[in-house]
Structure formats: structure tokens, C-alpha cells
Amino acid sequence: QIEQGTLNLEDTAFATDEYRMALSGGVDLVTSQFKDFTFSLLDGKGCADIEQTLNGDFSNPEGAIADTLLNTVAAPLAGLFKGLTQPKKECKPVYQGNVKHPEGSKN
């Protein structure tokens, strides 16, 4: 949904052959700003194995490792999570939508 130039993501996910990712939060397309934009690498239960929230300008978002945004576009999915920390093992699912967890997943 786009509202006043901001793309608002809820219950959004995609999967590759090995990974499933959920996206939430806002992306202001007019001002090129992240607004609590969160991407999560999911396990089979829909819990976040790895999660990162971005705020601020696309070119220098707060809360991001220096090259995370570039890796999102230019590197394989595994490179996206270089240097991020693992959350606790017990968790509340962050995604329970229709995108299935890949059968070839290692997480």
C-alpha cells in the first residue's frame, strides 16, 4: 500500500531456493527514507533468525552495517546478513503468510 508517497509493507515475504525473508515497515519514495523498515531472515516457523531495522536516508540508514544496503541489491542473499547478530532461539513468529519456507533451506 502506498500512502502519501510512502510504501507501507505488512505481511510481505519472498522466498528463494534456500531462504525466506519477511519485509515490514515503510519506504518513503519521495524523500528516499526508510521508516522502521525491517527485513527478517525466517526459519521454518516464521521466526526471525536474523533481523535488521533501517531508518533514515537510503544512502546512510541508521541501524545498518555500512555495506548492508549495497549488499541487498548487489550481493547474493547470504551476503546481506554479513555481520548481523542472531536473535534468541525462542521467538514469536514475525510472518505467518502464504509464502512457504523453501524445502532446500538450511535454517
40-79 confidence digits (pLDDT tens): 999 999 999 888 899 999 888 876 554 444 444 444 444 5
Please give the model's pTM, rounded to 2 decimal places: 0.69
Q: How far apart are CA 21 and CA 99, in angstroms?
A: 9
Spell 56-67 as b/e; 16+ CB within 10 A means b. eeeeebeebeee
54 neighbors 42 (Cβ within 8 angstroms): no
13-39 confidence digits (pLDDT tens): 999 999 999 999 999 999 999 999 999
38 neighbors 48 (Cβ within 8 angstroms): no
